[in-house]
Amino acid sequence: MARPIIVTGGAGFIGRNTVAELNARGEDEIILVDELGMDEKWKNLAGLRYEDIVSPEEFLGLIEEDAYSDARAVIHLGACSSTTERDAGFLLRNNYQYTRVLCNWSLAHQIRFVYASSAATYGDGSHGYDDSDEVTGLLRPLNMYGYSKHMFDLWGLKQGLFHAGPNRTDESGAGNIVGLKYFNVYGPYEDHKGDMRSVVSKSYRQIREDGVVRLFKSYRPEYEDGGQKRDFIYVKDAVDVTLHFALQPADAPGGLFNCGTGMARTWADLARAVFSAMGEAQRIEFIEMPQALQGKYQYFTQADERRLRAAGYTRPFTSLEDGVRDYITGYYLPQER
């Protein structure tokens, strides 16, 4: 029987798309770890093939009993992804401490461990978007979500877990892990994320309801309204990068890598792409940014791709226009028929 692949956050946005791609590649010996709660996230499971789904707490109990120790890989995507979450203790437990437990367990059993970091770790971008180890320690995230992700990046760096060579067999049992700094990911199956879903999803709903897209005004003179820039990556590309590393042997090289296109685009570009995909006339309005966000807002992000490419990932990324069109026409528009 095939060795299982564990996907935490398996019913979530990137997780659901990851499992679907694993299925497309003939993998169905998959253990999902997720808390379905009271919302509609369970609907993301429809059409997926997997062996079992367990809650995060139940999973911790099972691995203490030596379950799943034959796993092939742990793809750790489960976390609180709310950039506005103010409960620092919750973020500490959920995004940092839980990740450490899974990482140590994976290393102890020589299981490939790939986890989700975030471009939020870069803060205001004053140190650029270089994912090298030398820069990582200099970063200052702007919110507790970003800091909770940054904490684990720093811990992995301190422990030497992003080692580029063959898996070590010293008495610490340390090996190699992969962290992926996801930039602005958008795509199907993100509806359950509410206010944390992408602006592509929000724009589609706004156009359907009001015929207009509302974007935040700029509060920095070097950026016009709608001219703030982000690195938008289609979820299918984010999944492909994830599986590029996750399906390698446990002793393959590790590292902390950006997962973005390397091409910053404006929010106005994004809105125009949504209007075009929907075949609607363009109408953009600019609104005030909430006071609480104004000092914690990233005006520019753009992944430095050099380390990712050097690690052997060669596929080109989907353009913003093509990704938005595929998302809208392949996911949202069919729901209207």
Are 168 and 213 in a shared domain?
no
Span 34-40, mean pLDDT? 87
Span 46-67, mean pLDDT? 96
Q: Domain of residue 286: give its range.
A: 192-231+263-300+320-335
pLDDT of the residue at 173: 47
3-class DSSP assignment, residue 321: helix
In a domain, 92, yes or no: yes
- 203, pLDDT greater than 80: yes
pLDDT, one tens digit per residue, over 83-141 is 766 778 888 888 899 999 999 999 999 999 999 999 999 999 999 999 999 999 999 99
Banded model confidence at residue 1, pLDDT cuts 50, 70, 90: low
Are 161 and 270 in a shared domain?
no
Are 10 and 63 in a shared domain?
yes
Contacts of 33 (CB under 8 A, 6+ apart): 6, 7, 8, 9, 10, 53, 54, 55, 56, 59, 78
Identify whether 193 is a catalytic site residue.
yes
CA distance 335 to 123: 37
pLDDT, one tens digit per residue, over 261-315 is 999 999 999 999 999 999 999 999 999 999 888 877 889 999 999 999 999 999 9
- 145, pLDDT greater than 50: yes
Round the average pLDDT of the chain to a whole number and report it: 92
Of 96, 115, 122, 145, the active-site residue reads 145
CA distance 118 to 241: 14
Contact 318, 237 (CB under 8 A): yes
pLDDT of the residue at 80: 72
Identify whether 296 is a catalytic site residue.
no
pLDDT of the residue at 251: 84
- 172, pLDDT greater than 90: no
pLDDT of the residue at 116: 97
pLDDT of the residue at 91: 83
Are 255 and 243 in a shared domain?
yes
Contact 175, 250 (CB under 8 A): yes
Are 226 and 167 in a shared domain?
no
300 phi, psi to nearest 5 deg = -150, 130
- 51, pLDDT greater than 50: yes
In a domain, 309, yes or no: no
pLDDT of the residue at 170: 40
In a domain, 238, yes or no: yes
Are 169 and 296 in a shared domain?
no
pLDDT of the residue at 75: 98
Banded model confidence at residue 13, pLDDT cuts 50, 70, 90: very high
In a domain, 38, yes or no: yes
Are 237 and 253 in a shared domain?
yes
Looking at residue 286, its amino acid is F
Banded model confidence at residue 164, pLDDT cuts 50, 70, 90: low
Are 119 and 225 in a shared domain?
no
- 169, pLDDT greater than 90: no
Are 63 and 199 in a shared domain?
no
- 15, pLDDT greater than 70: yes
In a domain, 137, yes or no: yes
Span 249-258, mean pLDDT? 91
3-class DSSP assignment, residue 220: coil
pTM over 0.75: yes
Are 163 and 291 in a shared domain?
no
Q: For residue 240, with 0-12 CB atoms within 10 Å meaning exposed, 13-18 middle and 19 or more buried, which class applies?
A: middle
Among 50-59, 163-172, 180-189, 300-309, the least confident range: 163-172
Output the domain CATH number for residue 196.
Answer: 3.90.25.10
Contact 231, 141 (CB under 8 A): no
Q: Which stretches of 100-171 are assigned E, i.e. beta strand?
A: 112-118
In a domain, 65, yes or no: yes
- 197, pLDDT greater than 80: yes
Is the torsion defined by CA of 62, 67, 69, 74 positive or negative?
negative
- 253, pLDDT greater than 60: yes
Output the domain CATH number for residue 44.
Answer: 3.40.50.720
What total of structural domains would you count in the chain?
2
Banded model confidence at residue 175, pLDDT cuts 50, 70, 90: low
Are 88 and 148 in a shared domain?
yes
- 320, pLDDT greater than 50: yes
Contact 232, 288 (CB under 8 A): no
